[in-house]
Structure 1
């Protein structure tokens, strides 16, 4: 997983596992939502996915505070999260219109 390579080897435990679960839950909830029969159900799962992105963002700040990642790698990860949030918000807005 991309996140794991930014962490010091002796610090890969607890927080990294939480981050991995969050990162996996984002596309998983998108997929589950797309498999639902109504736009309302789909939007609900997209909101859950967005919540996981916010959780992952918070965990990145915690990792930075704990010096598990440096500022450069933090910025790279945070930028990817921001892009993902924008794309997901666009997807949510699309489903709200149908």
Structure 2
């Protein structure tokens, strides 16, 4: 099970760890954030992924960094996550 660990948070920046993720959510979130007004930096890094013994997937704990200007970082992060949820919901409805 994946979860988010907030490493550092201020008004205009958030650094968080996506525990047990791979590039899937990290990349989608980065791309969604980069499309938002006021986002100065949205990037993530992955160090040394490991093979999960049960799923056979390579997993790691990507670290995402978000920096904003003129808009609250938390607000933009929530908007980007909602956009991803909406995209997934629309895909499910189309099936």
**Larger Rg belongs to:** 1
Q: TM-score, normalised by structure 1?
A: 0.30
Larger strand proportion, structure 1 or 2? 2
Larger helix proportion, structure 1 or 2? 1
Q: TM-score, normalised by structure 2?
A: 0.31
